[in-house]
Amino acid sequence: MSDNENEKVDVKSVEDLRRTVAQLQVQLETDRKRLASSQRTENSTVFLSDQRRIARFTDRPQEPGDVSLQDWLDDIRAAITFRGIRDNDHAAFILEHLGGKARREIIGRGGAKLSGEQIFSILEHVFGDGASIARIQSQFYSYRQGEEDLLTCSHNLATLADKIEAVEKDTAFSKRKK
């Protein structure tokens, strides 16, 4: 091959390489934009209001819409944790969300002087279901899945198991106290 022909081949190769590089740069830019847009949607900010309304607990549930003690305790504990309420402010926060008989019971026993856990313990003792270990174990072992789905059945059994554990813990604490 002559030098002239070699130059033509080299120029053609260089031009091919430049076109390939240009195409790759366009593809790279497209991929970067796609990646950036997908990261924006994945890292979107979620706003959670810290002012979620907590129902007042007043007494044992009388009607189907009334809040149960256990549900209320779960909600109030979650609110205390989520809102970052200091330990010495727990009692005031809890009293703020009590009404009726429950509020009178706590105020009669010291009110804001009590710790949050002491208030919870009093409420569980006075307004809890008062079930004995034997009765809850009987409910647990005689439980049958009816029309409910497996998840609901499992949840109900786990709730009964938690109740057994809580009553056993409370009974053991009472025996140590005496």
59 and 115 within one domain: yes
93 and 141 within one domain: no
Position 43 pLDDT exceeds 60: no
Quick check: is 25 in a domain?
Answer: no
Structure tokens at 61: 């549930």
- The domain in which residue 152 lies consists of 131-178
Residue 27 has a pLDDT of 92
Residue with tokens 């130059």: 7
Quick check: is 174 in a domain?
Answer: yes
Residues whose CB falls within 8 Å of the CB of residue 94, separated by 6 or more in sequence, listed in order = 76, 106, 116, 119, 120
Quick check: is 111 in a domain?
Answer: yes
92 and 122 within one domain: yes
109 and 90 within one domain: yes
152 and 115 within one domain: no
135 and 119 within one domain: no
Instruction: Look at residue 57 and give its three-state secondary structure.
Output: strand
Count how many domains the chain has: 2
Cβ atoms of 167 and 132 within 8 Å: the answer is yes
pLDDT one-digit tens code per residue, 108-117: 988 878 888 9
Position 42 pLDDT exceeds 60: no
Which amino acid appears at position 115 of this protein? S
- Could you report how far apart the first and last alpha carbons of the chain are, in Å? 109
137 and 124 within one domain: no
172 and 110 within one domain: no
Mean pLDDT of 52-76: 84
138 and 117 within one domain: no
Which amino acid appears at position 79 of this protein? A
174 and 135 within one domain: yes
pLDDT one-digit tens code per residue, 95-147: 999 999 999 999 998 887 888 899 998 898 888 766 677 888 888 899 999 89
Cβ atoms of 140 and 161 within 8 Å: the answer is yes
